[in-house]
Amino acid sequence: MSRFLYYFIIITMLANIVASVPKILLFESEKGAIISMIAASILGPIIVFIIIKLFNLFPGKTLPQMMKQYTPKWFAYPVLFYFFVCWYIAGLITIVTYVFLIKTFFAPETSIYIITLPFVIVISFGILMKSKSVAYMTEFVLVIFIPIIVFLLTKFYTNQKLDWDFIKISMTYINHFPSYRAFCASLYIFVGVANFIIFNKLLSKKQKVGMKQFIIIGLSGIAVLFTTYFLPIGYIGFDHIEELSFPWISTSDTVRMKYGIIERLIFIFILSCLGITFLTLLHHWHVSLKLLQSILIFKRLNWKRKNLTPYIFVTLFGIVAMFATGHLTEFQLFDYASAFFDTLPIFFTILIISLLLIKKGAKL
């Protein structure tokens, strides 16, 4: 299987260690979060396996190309627009979450618009790049940050402050009925495979997807979910942990490097998370831009032989992001993010049905 497939799946898994997923899981800690994570760890790799297998039938083609070729317009355009909205909202949740994080822990007196603007400017240049350039940038950033993340996780697991008794207490709730909200939040870590609705054009050959790849993805998901949910409990305790806005930031601030140049691990942790988050946001909005371009393009809007439609869309992306960060509260963000995650089974269902209809239209 192509390394890029692993990259996009792993990036989404790592990014959600700090984002809204742990907050939702910990909020549902007494309502079936553990059994929900187990269910998502089983279903998630199966969904990934099915999606990759279906994309394998059309190497080198994006979803918009396939839908326009093999499905009627009345079906293709609404579905593509739906995916555009989903991917844009996914990126919007990511950027608003991290803007709130930076404002809370590093710049409480700074205007939220000043914090948001650098994010918007940097990501605007990124999403206008070619898909191949985005993929190679992903590889470059991962090479830099994966060793740091492995080091940080090693520190978290080996630190004496990690109290396994707290984790054992949380495990007593394993017999509770699954929570739909916790299940959807857990399933979200596998959504990275859906980036290939655009990035599939980079794969000119069919990918080998067997039991080995299935096991790797499944075990990676289990490890990420275990870490995401249980480590904050092990450091902070089980009681009232659901009340923390950013449980993983509070967790990272409990660990010190006694002989390190930087004593507080929180600074290295947030820097690493920002690098991974940049990639996630880049993927989401690059895909959403390509989807929107496949639906709507202003052919007469040209300047120096270059069509300006993508620049207009990117500007609108930034304006909406600035508005959202300025008008949302942390509580509203949590509610909206939870509601968005709740629609994830619908998203996967529509994607798989669309790919099956494309397969039928192509008579494969």
Ranking 5-14, 174-183, 248-257, 316-325 by mean pLDDT, the lowest is 248-257
Rg for the chain, CA atoms, rounded: 21
| C-beta of residue 197 within 8 angstroms of C-beta of residue 358 | no
* Model pTM score: 0.90
Task: Name the amino acid, one letter, at 132.
Answer: K
Give residue 44's Cα distance to chain centre.
14
pLDDT at 1: 56
pLDDT at 263: 60
Q: How far is CA 69 from CA 99, 300, 337, 357, in A?
A: 40, 24, 34, 11
pLDDT at 259: 57
Confidence of residue 261 (pLDDT cuts 50, 70, 90): low
- pLDDT exceeds 90 at position 85: yes
Cα distance between the two ends of the chain: 22
Task: Name the amino acid, one letter, at 355.
Answer: L
pLDDT at 134: 86
Sign of the Cα torsion 21, 22, 25, 27 reads negative
Average pLDDT, the chain: 84
Domains of the chain: 3-362 (1.20.1740.10)
Alpha helices in the chain (DSSP H): 3-15, 20-27, 33-55, 63-70, 73-105, 112-127, 131-158, 164-171, 180-187, 196-199, 211-236, 247-252, 265-295, 309-327, 330-342, 344-362
260 or 331, which is more confident? 331
pLDDT in tens, 32-51: 888 999 999 999 989 988 99
pLDDT at 43: 92
Q: How far is CA 19 from CA 15, 32, 97, 99, 308, in A?
A: 7, 20, 7, 11, 33
- pLDDT exceeds 90 at position 124: no
- pLDDT exceeds 90 at position 89: yes
For residues 7-36, give the mean pLDDT. Answer: 83
Give residue 132's Cα distance to chain centre.
19
d(CA 184, CA 36): 8
| C-beta of residue 17 within 8 angstroms of C-beta of residue 228 | yes
For residues 255-284, give the mean pLDDT. Answer: 75
pLDDT at 82: 94
| C-beta of residue 3 within 8 angstroms of C-beta of residue 144 | no
Q: Which two tokens stand for residue 63?
A: 């979803």
d(CA 23, CA 34): 14
Q: How far is CA 175 from CA 171, 229, 232, in A?
A: 9, 17, 21
pLDDT at 258: 66
